[in-house]
Structure 1
Amino acid sequence: MKPRERVAGAGLEISRRQLLQAGGATILVTAVAACSGGDDGEPRGGMSAPSDQPLEAPMLSERVTAGELPPLAERLPERPLVVEPVEQIGVYGGQWRTAILGAADSAWLDRTIGYDQLMRWDMDFTVPQPNVAESVEATDDGRRFTVTLRAGMKWSDGAPLTADDVVFWYNDVLLNESYPTIVVPTELTTADGTPAVVSKADQYTVVMEFAAPNGLLEQYLASGGSFVAGPRHYLEQFHPTYNPDVAQLAADEGHADWVALFDAKADVWGNPERPVLTPWVVVQPLGDGQRVMAERNPYYWKVDPDGRQLPYIDRVVFDIVNDEQTILLRATNGELDMHMRHINNLTNKPVLAQNRETGGYDFHDLVRSTMNQMMISLNLTHKDPALREVFQSKDFRIGLSHAIDREELIAAVYQDQGEPWQIAPRKEAEFYDEELAKQYTEYDPDEANRRLDRAGYSQRDGDGFRLRPDGERIRFSVEVSNHEPAWIDSLELIKVYWAEVGIDMRTESEDRSLLLTRKEANEHDAAVWFGSAGLKDAMLDPRCYFPSNNIFSDYAIPWANWFVGKAEVSEEPPEPVKEQMSLYRDLIESIDRDRQTEIFREILRIAKEEFYAIGTVLPVGDYCIVKNTFKNVPSSLIETGTQYPSPGPTNPEQYFIADS
């Protein structure tokens, strides 16, 4: 299938040849207008720039005049990708001010200035669209994909992007067994883990061949962090296949081996010399400093409908701060232009609302794919056989669910925002199932006690707590990451609810890294996390609906390890889980979208029957903050995990800063 060749509306193609023939801005704009017929003379995407507007940023024009850069026509590909502005044609200049929480918070860089994959999601998170790849075409059996790159497209240092860059990154890096840092991503394997064969057909054409159909490839290629390419002309000097002296080079630069050297040189955010394909290029790297700064890429390969090279904004500045309160203070002072990370929660909404006028910003709606504020996962594969038996009782889990007063949770912790919800897709999702979302959410202590008795735990000790079959009190800890205070507050209430029905629960607040380590070793009694993947991403990341993710399927990490083929801490799951796993492999290998949907609904039906984990509250009322002078940000945005790394799919390259 050949994807649409436009972004954010009815875009058009502008060829490099048109630029060369135009000989000036006025002629080019006239040519573009002629090519965009059928719009009755109305400007596309809002206000149209006057014909005398420059086609490139002044800071780049100065470099062209000084002989430091070739002319724009020589920097763009033959067919630049045209981006329709959300509201209007923008103006060049200014800087986007934002912040990250410590040097480890690089995900915000990925989401804002790092999202340019082979394909990209449209703003509505419905259809993968062309991006770095001009097209991706599949054979009828879904086993062979032809990826066509944009002829004449260049890296940020002016070197051409070719099929060699894609093949190098795949064969020499991802498949390289002596380079353990990264592995072949999911999108380039079959359901059983067999990697694709990636080869060069010609200068701008790559062929990906799979041993079995790959029905989700286009969606995966549009996801954040997915496979793209590596600048071979730069990175090969740090690779032993191309440089026999790389060990000495590594030693000279203070690295233990070539792998450490390659890691450092390939680091997009840590090495300003590494060529990129994104709108802005890092000039102050992420490290020990107090900020990260990125400036416009002079070879960026996208233009607006008037043929003006993007991005509009000159630079993006990420101040590195140590705590969320500092970010909040900067927001209320009007010192953040567009931000949707760490501070945009319900707790902070009142103070942010009070300061909107003085801070010169407003709220934009944010629809998260998160379908649960807090997912409670009892460890169904617990190392203690007695606790495993307790946790694997569905009646036990149902009893605990009925014991939770979710309405009180919503009022006390979530600012009266939300509704009782289980582990289920959101109402906005095509997979929404009201029965799955609402089962066992009614606060009913009598039913909770009845279920717990029926599970076989009617005997109690002198303090009123229920006993295990071995006579010991049912006592367990719920481990919680201390980065999310609302979870800690919620668990304190739930501890009381569960004590009222005879369950002795403790909370263990700990650093996120420790929690992940303990889960990986299957050492946790229970854990909480957000319930993720509640929109279209449910099918791409079904971790909450069956144990498919060996890091975040907290209710059964060993079963997930079995599914992904990891031998350590692995355990064969029961039949209903294996049925879901088999169905998901069928889904991946289907190239029929309707069939994929049908299969996933069956996976959700089994999840509803098995009731692996306990949900609490559906998130609502989410938002981001945008300065009044910061333009072309949609009034409503979607946010997921890596599948749709917002705000990246809203095309930040078309954001601009107005004078007032």
Structure 2
Amino acid sequence: MIKRRTVLGLIATALAPFNAKAAFTGSDYLKDDIKAGKLPDVAERLPRNPRVVNLAAKNRKPGRHGGVVRMLIGGQRDIRLMPINSYSRLVGYDEHLNLQADILESFASEGDRVFTFTLRQGHKWSDGSPLTTEDFRYSWDDVMNNKELHRGGIPVDLRVNGKGPSFEVIDERTVRYIWDEPNPDFLAQLAKPSPLVIYMPSTYLKQFHPRYQNQDTIAELLKKYKAQDWTDLHQRMSRTVRPENPALPTLDPWYNSTKPPAGQFVFLRNPYFHRVDENGLQLPYIDKMVLNISSPDLIGAKAGSGDSDLQFANVDFTDYTFLKAAEKRFPMKVDLWKRTQGSRVALVPNLNCKDDGWRALFQDVRVRRALSLAIDRQEINKAVFFGLAHEAGNSILPDSPLFKREYEQAWASHDIDMANRLLDEAGLTKRNEDGVRLLPDGRPAKIIIESAGESTFESDVLELITDHWSKIGIAIFTRVSQREIFRKRVIGGETLMCVWMGLDNGVPTAEMSPNELAPTFDDQMQWPVWGLHYLSGGRDGHPPDLPEAIRLLELMKQWKTAGTHDEREAIWHSMLTIFTQSVFTIGIINQALQPVVYSTKLRNIPEKALFGYDPTSFLGVYMPDTFWYEEDHV
């Protein structure tokens, strides 16, 4: 069970500094650059008060420097895994999902309205430029409040009831954000896998901004980088989600040294990384992370052939038997972590689809409940997941302090008779000669379920559901398309239903935002148009017209201004009740297992852990910068 973070009026985190800089030890990997005068000694590269990671207190072993970790990725876009796994954040979660200072030396919150952040003295970006409050001011004044870069104004995540904070620079190490009402989601947004960006490497980025650069030079840069205008150039050169610009300074433990396109991306240790272990060794322990591009379909086989030192991307439970057998042939180990999604695989009816007939049916809760009740989850679990997953709807896991069995089991039993009665009550009483129900306009009830085709077991699951739904007079067909096309079709209302995953965060605490339960994003496939309306501040899409969805939005907005833990917890439970009883998404199984493959020489990798994008950032909360080789490995 995840520990619940105690919410205080004042939260502050700071770590005691070492008594002497002589205690610090750097990697020999950088000794030639130090000798050549390209880098200062490690004591001059670290902040005066670095973050000290006490590994012994985490039941792990302090390590040693050196080595290369090879990983396989399915395409260039997957280099985005590095900043997620590296998990260097202003504030971040530990493995128990408690917030702690990381890049910040300390943070304080007063009533979830006033947030004061203090930086570590002498902290530097990977290029050696100083990290100061100027980087926060630049992000606030010159990026977020620049109408050319942010036409809609500051990000929605910084607004409470439509109003943003005031921003103050106290000194070169201290900034403050003040809202008129509580903003309990602010710290959690900074700790996300793809965090809210409130600071940027201003020393580097000012060369692309017309406020600091003359027009002639910007014109030359536009030509050099083949950019349309300065905003396109600035956005491209500052992108951190996919670190494709090797020149962009970072605070992560490794930085990308490879300019795309390439078949291999080499991430090198950040000489100025701000963490050390209890023995004074600067982290990360590993010198290089090498990401080799391979066909996604071959990654499981290659990982089981010793071509990867650390692998979780593009391997799934279907690969487990093969990978486990490979332990006998190669110096590798395979562990199973618990996936944190609300459902490993879910069917998502598009309540915003353009088809008037199906849209009306999908917005009828009786239809959604019937489709859920018709699924034999036990058969799917046994046939596809060897009975090792958990049969449930799309809801939170027992690892969350908010868990209630009634949420996961809402309309998730197997009851064909009730499913047929609900469809009859919804007006689908007529059938054709094949037993397929007829829609009110006379068309047969045939649903095309669309997929991005990225999970090998999806076709097996859909084959079983085809049989299940035939018993209630619903016929289904499948269509596979590339992910970008797939997403565009969903947002455009072209899809009736898709197969995807459930809630990203199946292990929330009351202090984490419940925005996944309400229409707040355009990539929520059950209501993308409603989500776009919220995300755009009302400029695009249209607001929900379904009472339950409207109520979820109201509750989510109430959570954002709730002043106490008890208020936030009560709102979470209200939203979970509505979300699960309404069956907006049809979950099938959760608590599925994820293979994590790694070299037997690597240390500090947990044998059992939670695995997911949000909130654990895949490997992030387990700190890959503390992984190390017990033997020499090049």
Q: Give the TM-score of the pair, scaled to structure 1.
A: 0.88
Question: 66, 70, 86: which one pairs with 1:97?
Answer: 70
Post-superposition offset of 1:480 = 1.5
Asked if 1:233 is matched to 2:203, the reply is yes
2:523 pairs with 551, 558, 562, which one?
Answer: 551
Counterparts in 2 of 1:407 and 1:295: CA distance versus 1, 3 Å = same
Q: How does 1:73-472 map to 2 (within 5 A)?
A: 73-85=43-55, 86=58, 87-113=60-86, 115-125=87-97, 127-140=98-111, 142-179=112-149, 184-190=154-160, 192-226=161-195, 227-245=197-215, 246-253=217-224, 254-268=226-240, 269-285=243-259, 287-325=260-298, 327-343=299-315, 345-472=316-443
SS at match of 2:494: coil
Q: How many residue pairs are counted as aligned between the two chains? A: 614
Asked if residue 18 in structure 1 is aligned to residue 15 in structure 2, the reply is no
Aligned ranges 1:20-39 → 2 under 5 Å: 24=22, 28=23
Distance 1:281 1:560, change over 3 A: closer
Q: Structure 1 residue 541: deviation in Å?
A: 5.7
1:134 is paired with a residue whose SS is: strand
Deviations 1:385-441 (A, max 9, x none): 322232222222222222212222122222333232112111221221212211332
Distance 2:483 2:591 in 1: 22
Cα displacement (A) at 1:74: 1.7
Contact 1:537 1:640 in 2 (8 A): no
Distance 1:481 1:181 in 2: 31
For 2:422 and 2:228, the matched residues in 1 are separated by 59
Give the aligned partner of residue 4 of structure 2: none
1:261 counterpart SS class: helix
Secondary structure of 1:242's aligned partner: coil
Give, in whole Å, the separation in 2 of the partners of 1:100 and 1:603: 37
Any conservation in 2 of the 1:225–1:642 contact (CA below 8 Å)? no
Contact 2:13 2:107 in 1 (8 A): no
How far residue 182 of structure 1 moved from its aligned partner, in angstroms, is: 10
Larger mean CA deviation between 72-81 and 253-262 belongs to 253-262
Q: Which runs of 5+ in 1 are unaligned?
A: 7-11, 29-53
Which residue identity lines up with residue 255 of structure 2 in the other structure? V
Work out which of the residue numbers 12, 20, 25 in structure 2 matches 1:55.
25
**Residue identity matched to 2:204:** Y
Aligned to 1:41: none
| Cα separation, 2, equivalents of 1:111 and 1:357 | 31
Letter in 1 for 2:185: L
Give yes or no for contact 2:518–2:556 (8 Å, CA) kept in 1: no
Shift of 1:351: 0.1
SS in 2 for 1:615: strand
Unaligned runs of at least 5 residues, structure 2 = 1-8
- Residue 284 of structure 2 aligns to a residue whose secondary structure is coil
User: What does 1:578-593 correspond to in 2, within 5 Å?
Assistant: 578-593=550-565
Question: TM-score, normalization: structure 2?
Answer: 0.91
RMSD across aligned positions (CA): 2.3
C-alpha contact (below 8 Å) 2:344/2:592 kept by paired residues = no
Q: Structure 1: which amino acid aligns with 2:253?
A: P
CA contact (8 A) 1:117 1:228 kept: no
Q: Is the 8 A contact 1:118 1:133 kept in 2?
A: yes
- Aligned-residue sequence identity (percent) comes to 27
Shift of residue 72, structure 1, vs aligned partner = 2.1
CA positional deviation for 1:497: 1.8
SS of 1:622 mapped into structure 2: strand
Tell me the amino acid that sits aligned with residue 186 of structure 2: L
For 1:273, give the aligned amino acid. A
Query: In 2, Cα distance between the equivalents of 1:406 and 1:483?
Result: 21
Q: Is the 8 A contact 1:121 1:129 kept in 2?
A: yes
Change (3 A) 1:228 1:636: farther
The farther-off stretch of 557-566 and 608-617 is 557-566
CA distance in 1, matches of 2:545, 2:441: 25
- Judged with a 3 Å threshold, the aligned counterparts in structure 2 of structure 1 residues 510 and 84 are, in CA distance, closer, same or farther, namely same
CA-to-partner distance for each residue in 1:309-361, whole Å, 9 max, x for gaps?
11111111111113331x22331122322221111x11100000000132212
Q: Secondary structure at the match of 2:92?
A: strand
Once the two structures are superposed, residues 177-222 of structure 1 have per-residue CA deviations (whole angstroms, 9 ceiling, x without a partner) of: 21259974454222x3433333311100111122421012122211
CA contact (8 A) 1:124 1:638 kept: no
Question: By how many angstroms is 1:130 displaced?
Answer: 0.1
Whether the 8 Å contact between 1:166 and 1:230 is mirrored in structure 2 is: yes
Separation (CA, whole Å) in 1 of partners of 2:235 and 2:440:
53
Deviates more, 1:127-136 or 1:542-551: 542-551
> Could you say which structure has the greater relative contact order, defined with CA pairs below 8 angstroms and 6 or more residues apart?
2
- Post-superposition offset of 1:642: 4.3
**Cα shift at 1:158:** 1.6
Could you tell me whether the CA contact under 8 Å between 1:563 and 1:581 is conserved in 2?
Answer: no
| DSSP-derived class of the 1:463 partner | coil
Q: What is the letter of the counterpart of residue 395 of structure 1?
A: R
* Range moving further from structure 2, 254-263 or 366-375: 254-263
- Check whether the contact 2:401–2:508 (CA below 8 A) recurs between aligned residues: yes
**AA at the equivalent of 1:112:** N
CA distance in 1, matches of 2:540, 2:156: 19
2:578 to 584, 594, 606: 606
**Secondary structure in 2 matching 1:377:** strand
Residue 626 of structure 1: SS of its match in structure 2?
strand
Q: In the superposition, relative to structure 1, how do residues 572 and 186 fare at CA in structure 2: closer, same or farther (>3 Å)?
A: closer
Asked if 1 retains the 8 angstrom alpha-carbon contact of 2:95 and 2:616, the reply is no
Give the CA deviation at 1:228.
4.6
